[in-house]
Structure 1
Amino acid sequence: MTPTQPITQPAPPQPAPPTQHEAEMREAAVKLEANFLAEMLKHAGLGDTEGAFSGGVGEEQFSSFLRQEQSQLMAEAGGIGLAETIFEAMKAREAKNGSN
């Protein structure tokens, strides 16, 4: 009986690390998605204060901060995919214009 050699496959090529400019574009796209999500959460009623156990005027004044932070965390975790679409559109526009 002859020993068999394990079959190895070459590793897939690794994408180039993003440039500083691409990182800035991605960050801007995530912020835009976060702002969009914050507006959607606002119109959905997240943070509305009603009832006997509401925080009153103080809670109303600070609920926008909570919505913004929650939407930022959602966008950073992948959100609804809007940031990636915006980022790819910005990259395509720069490639078309030939600037970097």
Structure 2
Amino acid sequence: MSDPSQPLLPVAVARSQPPLPAASEKRTAADMAATAREFEGVFMGQMAKIMLESVEQSPEFSGGQGEAMFRGIMAEKIGSLMAERGGIGLAPAVLEQMIRLQGGE
């Protein structure tokens, strides 16, 4: 049993991040492009969510509580659709960095 007069020692905390893939596990260009598009979609969804929250809803034309519950899902879908249709050019920049980090040109 521990002595209550002694200070507690810090406990090692497990890493919450998964380990990075080994250098031999390089991802394909198609995988990286899909990940970059997905990242852009998430980013655009967050922007859409903030924009939707900033618009005042009139009681006559809004959907009430039901609409409020699903507004976040709608923002996510708007973001993913925008990214699928070309987005704002973020995916190519992210893809370029991903390739550079893997040692490509």
Shared topology, TM-score over 0.5?
A: yes
> What stretches of structure 1 of length at least 5 have no aligned partner?
1-19
For residues 11-40 of structure 1, the C-alpha deviation after alignment (integer angstroms, 9 at most, x for no partner) is xxxxxxxxx721111111111111111111
SS where residue 95 of structure 1 aligns? coil
Q: Which residue, out of 25, 41, 60, partners 2:32? A: 25
Deviates more, 1:59-68 or 1:85-94: 59-68
Q: What TM-score, normalized by structure 1, do the two folds share?
A: 0.67
> What stretches of structure 2 of length at least 5 have no aligned partner?
1-26
Q: Which runs of 4+ in 1 moved over 2 A?
A: 45-49
Q: Which residue, out of 78, 81, 95, partners 1:73? A: 81
- Equivalence for 2:44: 37
Contact 2:49 2:71 in 1 (8 A): no
- Equivalence for 2:20: none
Q: What TM-score, normalized by structure 2, do the two folds share?
A: 0.64
For residues 88 and 29 of structure 1, do their structure 2 counterparts lie closer, same or farther at Cα, with a shift above 3 Å needed?
same
For residues 24 and 44 of structure 1, do their structure 2 counterparts lie closer, same or farther at Cα, with a shift above 3 Å needed?
same
Give the root-mean-square deviation of aligned CA atoms: 2.1
Matches within 5 A, 1:1-100: 21-45=28-52, 50-51=57-58, 52-95=60-103
- Rounded to whole Å, the distance in 2 between the matches of 1:29 and 1:68 is 16
Task: Give the letter aligned to residue 88 of structure 1.
Answer: E
- Rounded to whole Å, the distance in 1 between the matches of 2:72 and 2:62 is 15
- Rounded to whole Å, the distance in 2 between the matches of 1:59 and 1:72 is 19
